């Protein structure tokens, strides 16, 4: 019998928990199939785009063993759905008495007209990945090579869906000198798109700030804010295109909090809130992490005069502020990358990250 086959079950009609228990019993009754483990029941709001307020889903993940082939198991599972009264419709996000998906089939990759394994959306669903993390935290995804635990953490409790024809915005986060621009430049080439570059070289106040001129700190932060808002305005992005930015709009308060006194920060944050409404939300954040020492070495190598006074404590503070930002983050998945493990100047290493991003965003 084949093991490490995972099913995702969900219900939001009638008595959802009872529906899941019945479905599990019917799966146990399939010849040549047995359930070896199930996750806890997980309640979540349904994914919906029509403004309705359907009832919550109850979900779980089951690990099974079976002697059946994938298409045969799919037939049996659909028979169970029909037996339980599922109404099939082409409309997305409709309430369902039961939904049973094949998530993983060992390390097999299956792409047929009827079945895609690994499930094409499981890595974007916290209600799936929470169950996977509970019963198979160290199992690696056959496509990305990441553990279920790592993939679950990337979602921070969120559930996401990317419409194929909508613009996809990839943004970067991380301390100064961590390699954001180098990696973003490499990715923009592979995606065939022009890099949206943070305009720090155009900020006339920045060199003065690093020299200790307190009078222009607010001017500098407002320049960055205005520039970022203009570059990342929703109206700038077109359908069916991928965009790469070496910064993210939402990091603006991090730097403002460091540089500004409370009165100036209040002025800044008021302007930030006004512009935030028009900024495009990212589809994916790439958060680069590295030691302060490695970042300082890269800063030294690139030789910008105004960055010479950047110290270790400032970089550590930036890292902590990003961590604080992402503890509350719910706009999109966040992929953390250990920048010290890569050389972003090498195309082959950038391609590894590109493939992961393509999978997350469903880009062929």
Q: pLDDT digits over 142-159, tens only?
A: 999 999 999 999 999 999
Q: Is the pLDDT of residue 90 over 70?
A: no
* φ and ψ at residue 52, rounded to 5 degrees: -80, 175
pLDDT of residue 55: 86
Whole-number percent of the chain with pLDDT over 70: 98
Question: Positive or negative CA dihedral for 257, 285, 129, 90?
Answer: positive
Mean of the pLDDT values across residues 220-231? 97
Of 28, 49, 65, 86, catalytic: 86
Q: Would residue 239 show up in a list of annotated catalytic residues for this protein?
A: no
8 A C-beta contact, residue 142 and residue 118: yes
Domain-by-domain residue ranges, the chain? 2-139, 168-361
What average pLDDT does the structure give for the chain? 94
Taking the whole predicted model, whether its pTM rises above 0.75 is answered as yes
Q: Would residue 351 show up in a list of annotated catalytic residues for this protein?
A: no
Q: Would residue 201 show up in a list of annotated catalytic residues for this protein?
A: no
Q: Would residue 63 show up in a list of annotated catalytic residues for this protein?
A: no
Residue 41 Cα to chain centre, angstroms: 23
Specify the CATH class of 2-139 in words.
alpha beta
Of 101, 133, 159, 246, catalytic: 101
Mean of the pLDDT values across residues 223-245? 96
* φ and ψ at residue 267, rounded to 5 degrees: -60, -45
Superfamily of domain 168-361, CATH level 4: P-loop containing nucleotide triphosphate hydrolases (3.40.50.300)
Q: How confident is the model at residue 270 (pLDDT cuts 50, 70, 90)?
A: very high
Which residues make Cβ contacts (< 8 Å) with residue 208, sequence separation at least 6?
Answer: 216, 220
Of 96, 159, 246, 290, catalytic: 96
Of 63, 76, 99, 154, catalytic: 99
């Amino acid at each position: 019998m084949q093991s490490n086959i995972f099913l995702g079950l969900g219900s939001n009609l009638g008595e959802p928990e009872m529906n899941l228990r019945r479905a599990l019993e019917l799966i146990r009754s399939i010849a040549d199939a047995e359930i070896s483990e199930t996750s806890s029941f997980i309640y979540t709001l349904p994914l919906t785009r029509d403004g309705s307020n359907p009832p919550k889903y109850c979900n779980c993940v089951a690990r099974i063993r079976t002697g059946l082939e994938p298409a045969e198991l799919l037939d049996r599972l659909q028979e169970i759905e029909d037996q339980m009264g599922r109404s099939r419709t082409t409309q997305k996000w409709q309430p369902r008495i039961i939904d049973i998906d094949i998530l993983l089939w060992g390390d097999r990759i299956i792409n047929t007209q009827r079945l895609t394994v690994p499930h094409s959306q499981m890595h974007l669903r916290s209600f799936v990945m929470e169950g996977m993390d509970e019963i198979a935290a160290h199992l690696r995804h056959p496509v990305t090579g990441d553990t279920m635990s790592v993939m679950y953490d990337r979602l921070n409790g969120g559930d996401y869906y990317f419409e194929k024809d909508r613009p996809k915005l990839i943004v970067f986060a991380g301390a100064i000198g961590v390699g954001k621009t180098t990696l973003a430049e490499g990715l923009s080439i592979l995606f065939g798109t022009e890099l949206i570059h943070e305009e720090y070289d155009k900020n006339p106040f920045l060199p003065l700030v690093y020299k200790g001129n307190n009078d222009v700190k607010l001017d500098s932060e407002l320049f960055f804010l205005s520039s970022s808002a203009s570059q990342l305005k929703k109206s700038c992005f077109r359908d069916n295109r991928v965009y790469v930015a070496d910064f993210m709009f939402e990091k603006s308060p991090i730097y403002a909090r460091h540089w500004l006194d409370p009165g100036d920060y209040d002025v800044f944050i008021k302007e930030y809130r006004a512009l935030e409404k028009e900024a495009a939300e990212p589809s994916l954040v790439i958060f680069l992490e590295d030691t302060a020492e490695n970042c300082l070495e890269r800063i030294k190598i690139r030789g910008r005069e105004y960055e010479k006074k950047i110290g270790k404590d400032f970089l550590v503070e930036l890292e902590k502020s990003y961590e604080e930002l992402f503890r509350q983050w719910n706009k999109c998945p966040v992929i953390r990358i250990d920048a010290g493990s890569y050389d972003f100047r090498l195309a082959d290493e950038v391609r590894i990250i590109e493939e992961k991003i393509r999978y997350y965003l469903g880009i062929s």
